[in-house]
Structure 1
Amino acid sequence: MTATSGPGGVIAVDWGTTNRRAYRLDADGRVGDALRDDRGVLTMAADDYPPALAALRERLGDLPVIAAGMIGSTRGWREAPYVPAPCGLADLAAAALRLPEARMTIVPGVSVLTERRADVMRGEEIQVLGAIAAGLAPADALFCQPGTHNKWITTADARIVDVATVMTGELFSLLKGHGILAGMLDGAVVDGTAFRDGLARGAGACDLGTALFEVRASVLLGRRASEEAAAYASGVLIGSDVGARAVAGRTVHLLAEGALADLYKVAIETLDGTVVAIDATAGFLGGVHRLRGMLA
């Protein structure tokens, strides 16, 4: 049995910073079993990976492993260097880090480096390219994956050509826990008047710092109820993020689900974009299944 194929299938692992998702796939890409836990790379030392792989195989089957995400970063187990954009699944397969002794393959991330900017990602590339390979999205598309570090990914001819990472979620967390807005952002972040007011303020704003201070001032001066401050601040940040993408008249493929994805959907549609929701897990599994054939 090689590191990338086997009669019983393969274990596909999305090994992130704080979480880990693993799936047993059969030869046709169907899921037989799955697990999700908090064994992200930040919880693990280098010596923890061999027993962790053994435990995965005990649970999901004695199969080869294909892993993507932060496990291939400098914080993970073994570094799989980034593949420069433009990049497709074949490019990822060619640059994949093979670990025969562990019967494992680590998929590299994707980088963008131009005279104006630099960006990187790990894990999202499999979801995006897998969604295209599975027919869930066209070859030329704009993707958005909300999260702590929101990703905007542009593809052309089924290859990733650009990546833009926005620290929207992290900024909100920092504002909530530190600084002058700490203690003011404990209310619910939900769609409503306050959130949409924030969207309008943040969209196209060149003065994001000023707009965020207005969260405090508007509460102090009685313009906004204190319990609405968090929704308004979230709207400002998400509005600034989405507003910078010029989504009007465009289709955005949203690779996420849950409350944050719902807020991004509202923001994109408010700014005259069209949202197509895509199951990120289906994209990931489609990507690994297609990669498996390329790696064999």
Structure 2
Amino acid sequence: MTSRYIAIDWGSTNLRAWLYQGGACLESRKSEAGVTRLNGRTPEAVLAEVTEGWRDESTPVLMAGMVGSNAGWKIAPYLPCPARFAEFGAQLTTAAEHVFIIPGLCVQREDNRNVMRGEETQLLGARALQPAPLYIMPGTHCKWVQADNEQVHDFRTVMTGELHHLLLKQSLIGAGLPEQQLNADAFQAGLAQGLETDAPLARLFEVRAGHVLGNLAREHVSEFLSGLLIGNEAASMTRLWQPDRQQPLTIVASPALAGRYQQALNALGFQAQTLEGDAAFQAGIRSIAHAVAE
């Protein structure tokens, strides 16, 4: 692969692209043309539009995310875990001439069936920038990934972000609420409850009861619910993985979201370092580009 290439994180709802030359990022662009928002256009047309002026026929493009799913451009097979990091760049799927899709990862056992797309590239970057025995990757569907320097051993997915959205927007918990406001105290109160409960489903209706009875401000319901769900997620997943408290864990997310998980992990006695998702993704895709070039 030449020293000039394009990296793309192509998800369901958005697309982000970076132009690299000699390892340096020259320019970046964003688009709302995720794979579920093509609006009748072909993936080839969207790619041409978002990379206009960036490439000629020989400029390679490396893509990760839902672009490789059955709803995307072309299916890029999942690598089964345990999966070696070195395999990520060795098993690319060709979508078009000089256009490649990075494979996702999967776990298929009786006790765990899981898939990921896009996060595997962030993992590759996180391993280089902030290595850890356990990576937490919050978002709509939070990934908890057990890995070492050579391979990804196992991972689980927790639908905390999506559940928060659904409960707030489409359930009785959020019915009739005013515009929600950030509030650290409400988040902390929810976090404390989430950390100590083994039965979060039994506590969810109490969120509604709390604001109906006047114990929880109606504009702070989102914050309390966020704390409750994240606290329970962190408590249950650390019980499952049993990470060493002497080794820092790595959270890969935006600063605001990473801070919430960091508070939960600190309350449980774990150290956690944070890394922005874009930084991890770019580091990961650069390593794949360099490996392919060798």
TM-score w.r.t. structure 2 length?
0.90
> SS at 2:136's partner residue?
strand
Q: Deviations along 1:108-147, whole A, 9 cap, x unmatched? A: 10001222111110011111112223xx122x52111111
> SS at 2:174's partner residue?
coil
Partner residue of 2:100? 105
1:125-204 matched pairs, under 5 angstroms: 125-133=120-128, 136-138=129-131, 140-183=132-175, 186-188=178-180, 190-204=182-196
CA distance in structure 1 between the partners assigned to 2:50 and 2:218 by the alignment:
47
Q: 1:187 to 1:152 in 2, by over 3 A?
A: farther
- Indicate conservation of the 8 Å contact 1:41/1:70, yes or no: yes
- Indicate conservation of the 8 Å contact 2:127/2:149, yes or no: no
CA distance in structure 1 between the partners assigned to 2:215 and 2:51 by the alignment:
57
Query: What letter is aligned with 1:176?
Result: L
Query: What letter is aligned with 1:239?
Result: G
- How many Å apart are 1:73 and its aligned residue? 0.5
Q: After superposing the two structures, state which structure 1 stretch, 238-247 or 106-115, moved more.
A: 238-247
Partner residue of 1:244? 236
1:25 pairs with 2:20: yes
- How many Å apart are 1:183 and its aligned residue? 2.5
Q: Give the number of aligned pairs.
A: 286
Q: Deviations along 1:23-81, whole A, 9 cap, x unmatched? A: 11123x21011111211111127851111222233243332100011100011010001
Q: 1:184 to 1:116 in 2, by over 3 A?
A: farther
CA distance in structure 2 between the partners assigned to 1:150 and 1:23 by the alignment:
25
Q: 1:248 to 1:294 in 2, by over 3 A?
A: closer
Partner residue of 1:116? 111
Q: After superposing the two structures, state which structure 1 stretch, 74-83 or 152-161, moved more.
A: 152-161
- How many Å apart are 1:287 and its aligned residue? 1.5
- How many Å apart are 1:95 and its aligned residue? 2.0
CA distance in structure 1 between the partners assigned to 2:177 and 2:256 by the alignment:
17
> Of residues 257, 260, 263 in structure 2, which corresponds to 1:260?
257
Q: 1:20 to 1:289 in 2, by over 3 A?
A: same
> Of residues 35, 42, 50 in structure 2, which corresponds to 1:48?
42
TM-score w.r.t. structure 1 length?
0.89
> SS at 2:89's partner residue?
helix
Q: Which runs of 5+ in 2 are unaligned?
A: none
CA distance in structure 2 between the partners assigned to 1:34 and 1:45 by the alignment:
23
Q: After superposing the two structures, state which structure 1 stretch, 240-249 or 208-217, moved more.
A: 240-249
**Aligned sequence identity (%):** 35
Partner residue of 1:93? 89
Q: After superposing the two structures, state which structure 1 stretch, 250-259 or 173-182, moved more.
A: 250-259
> Of residues 269, 276, 281 in structure 2, which corresponds to 1:279?
276
Q: Which runs of 4+ in 1 moved over 6 A?
A: none
1:35 pairs with 2:29: yes
1:197-212 matched pairs, under 5 angstroms: 197-212=189-204
> Of residues 268, 291, 295 in structure 1, which corresponds to 2:292?
295
> SS at 2:18's partner residue?
strand
